[in-house]
Structure 1
């Protein structure tokens, strides 16, 4: 494209990369370093928003950056589904940046320059995944995201953090080997790695070959944290809370489920998935993960670890939607990406605020804390209610679509999974709400020094909760509109 929009996908990724260099240069001057972070985050979000009207019109924005192999250039393409991820990630990176500044300063965390440098490179990689035009480009950004987030996981450099980091790398790098194998096999079978709405694998190999290829992709996208390949995620909760929020809502885990949806809709296609029985495989994996992770969440007293298991469960809703191989199911799957992200980051923000304000990480130690931090506790309650699928928060939107997909597809067992999960969501979230707001502390004076977190942390908490409510009342602005365009593509109704 000749106009400026044609380079915006590259500009969007270049902004945080340029900022990361500046962060290293000015690292000793924390005010300048943090200003660079905020300016970069704002600019990046502005760049994504500038592309939004064209994408909403049904167009795509593409740019080839480096020839690599025929059918596999290092190239970017902003399309409707990629925009769902990119818009979510950039909006939340801006809010997470403000929050992280307050968190890191108040706790006087060490290595803050390294911290903000790694976050800047990581968001560039995440948006690179969103805007990848083909499997090869996606693989490159996917592995960059793995490597650059390792220093964030081990940030505290304690023995527990280093152990968690080793597990993190082991799972994700081994997954990367499987993903590379899947990309290479796809290229051997088809001579291309370009994403095509509706898929391009049909007729390229035997049923067994394509089933094995799908398994390679599933293991490759281990960032989706489906069971039993989930152990790295709860372990990574030793990281600072802004990192936990980034892993769960902004980039890493979302990148995993995004990749699986991309493979289903733009590499295989719904018809081929159905003929190979891959929907059934996904349904089993997702159902087991949703229920089992919820049961694990019930047993966790550490708030961040309970939220981690909640993420493992909730993101498998996306896999469950894909498994239905229907419009309603895919709608629920795609919509759940931004919905879960805004709700879950609110919950993690609150967990970090409690650490900063009261030094407490275990739910059993939070009795009555909501009386001292009522705004923070109410925001947690709202987001938790949303995850449970209750109005006026948007969790109900994706869950209704998933329920419709189960009914329309004649799969009542999946409807049972959704209902059971909703009950378990209530079982592990409502006791936290009760403990914070209604329970009495064992020592009435133990909370005397506790107060609301500073505004630099409190405002992002309020905004993520408020945006979640906004999504409930105005879901089409713009997320559901983007989902509708993406669905039209992969269902072969409209191919611009």
Structure 2
């Protein structure tokens, strides 16, 4: 695709998933064509994003003006290293999630599959727009589209529990963005005179330290997709959705949109140096630390497997938020690496959970005795994802944690250091018992696995979790470039 110009590539990054949505709607009555459209679109998007990645690594910063809505309000795209990292993760995982979805949706005879695949594609398009946003207005627009497009996925089963979860989902995410995030954006525009992103920030010298901290708080809690406590309950509530949706929420798009927004605002609205000198992010170290430890304790007590994984996600996301709060170049590198590591590791864990449900109809940790012997591929992949969440080499989760710990130690922030150490122990305490149950207790049934597309997908992401540790060049390169724009 080198013959395509960068603006065309940016348009295709948004347009391909949107066209896939139309194709899915058109061929929805023919499942094979519908799923082929999804897979083809995912592969094409991957090609476009990888081409953009090569350009960004080479120093290019592609831009595309979409529309001027009003004076000072433009929909504009601009690719920078942080956005490129987010987009590359989402585009890569859309392929394996699509393959997994085929096995899961068919294996469980799920209803409304056409709507499922269509909304998924819209969510991916919104994710691309969010990742490549050139200003706060564009980010807000695509942030809201992502919330609205994933609501039908959360309520997919249309049971009373699913509809309640959907109400919590929309009330929390849309409510926080309208009441907190939008005022933060308006305030920023009034003070800075621009909504454009600039490396180093646009607020230096524009506000006092107290006002700077308040504005930062509006952004952090307004981006409720990051699930910083107390705005976290939507995430475990949304676990009533099918497992591929859980994977979308936890790994591919939704929660990553939250932490991406916080990290983007830290680097390109406030600026790391401004956060350091003003002390505007110091309070967030304690909020993120509390979220990490509290979520880990809840996960430790959860018997429902998806609930345990949901609270694991809440804790893991706040590692990225903690890194933003530490406000140093090393911490930013750690945050970027953890975005990629958590994505590939957590999608592996949810894939495995869905496979166990599909093959064995098991949803509780207490029911998993011997299941590793009956489903060795599935639980072997789960083990790799779990080790990554704990932060053990040779898995990707080690890398981000190492850099964040290094940043906390360098800043002599012993609270942050303690949080990372304690939470690592807690992570081991709620993951390792699953593995001992699965592999060390007797099996009570024949050996069987979930449908092959599911097994192929989770094997691929488990392998990716290890390969990302062994060959971290691309995510590390992008993470290292974030501070330079």
Give TM-score scaled by structure 2 length.
0.97
1:480 aligns with 2:476: yes
1:236, distance to aligned residue in structure 2 (A): 0.4
Q: 1:23 & 1:278 partners in 2: Cα distance?
A: 46
Q: 2:420 & 2:127 partners in 1: Cα distance?
A: 29
Q: 1:190 & 1:362 partners in 2: Cα distance?
A: 51
Tell me what 2:358 maps to.
356
1:182–1:216 CA contact under 8 A, matched in 2: yes
2:199–2:483 CA contact under 8 A, matched in 1: no
1:69, distance to aligned residue in structure 2 (A): 3.6
Q: 1:193 & 1:249 partners in 2: Cα distance?
A: 28
4+ long deviations beyond 4 Å: none
1:208, distance to aligned residue in structure 2 (A): 3.2
1:398 aligns with 2:394: no
2:181–2:223 CA contact under 8 A, matched in 1: yes
1:301 aligns with 2:303: yes
Tell me what 2:125 maps to.
124
Tell me what 1:147 maps to.
148
Tell me what 1:493 maps to.
none
Pairing 1:78-227 to 2, within 5 Å after superposition? 78-177=79-178, 178-227=180-229
1:452 aligns with 2:454: no
Tell me what 1:494 maps to.
none
Give the secondary-structure state (helix, strand or coil) at the position aligned to 2:66: strand
1:323, distance to aligned residue in structure 2 (A): 1.4
1:294–1:424 CA contact under 8 A, matched in 2: yes
1:93, distance to aligned residue in structure 2 (A): 0.8
1:70–1:192 CA contact under 8 A, matched in 2: no
2:221–2:228 CA contact under 8 A, matched in 1: no
Pairing 1:326-341 to 2, within 5 Å after superposition? 326-341=328-343
1:45–1:91 CA contact under 8 A, matched in 2: yes
1:345, distance to aligned residue in structure 2 (A): 0.2
Per-residue Cα deviation, 1:296-331 (whole angstroms, up to 9, x for no partner): 000100101100000000010001111111121111
Tell me what 1:272 maps to.
274
1:70, distance to aligned residue in structure 2 (A): 4.2
1:71, distance to aligned residue in structure 2 (A): 4.2
Task: List alignment gaps of at least 5 residues for structure 2.
Answer: none
User: How many residues of Structure 1 are paired with residues of Structure 2 in the alignment?
Assistant: 483
Q: 1:474 & 1:218 partners in 2: Cα distance?
A: 32
1:6, distance to aligned residue in structure 2 (A): 2.3
1:394, distance to aligned residue in structure 2 (A): 1.3
2:336–2:475 CA contact under 8 A, matched in 1: no
Q: 2:426 & 2:4 partners in 1: Cα distance?
A: 51
Give the secondary-structure state (helix, strand or coil) at the position aligned to 1:63: strand
Give the secondary-structure state (helix, strand or coil) at the position aligned to 2:151: helix
1:205, distance to aligned residue in structure 2 (A): 3.0
RMSD value, Cα = 1.4
Tell me what 1:440 maps to.
442
Tell me what 1:425 maps to.
427
Q: 1:342 & 1:62 partners in 2: Cα distance?
A: 28
1:62, distance to aligned residue in structure 2 (A): 0.3
Per-residue Cα deviation, 1:376-423 (whole angstroms, up to 9, x for no partner): 111101110111111111111111111110111111221111110110
1:61 aligns with 2:62: yes
Pairing 1:382-397 to 2, within 5 Å after superposition? 382-397=384-399
2:332–2:482 CA contact under 8 A, matched in 1: no
Tell me what 2:239 maps to.
237
Per-residue Cα deviation, 1:50-87 (whole angstroms, up to 9, x for no partner): 11121002220000010124443101111111010000
1:279, distance to aligned residue in structure 2 (A): 2.5
1:211, distance to aligned residue in structure 2 (A): 2.4
Give the secondary-structure state (helix, strand or coil) at the position aligned to 1:440: coil
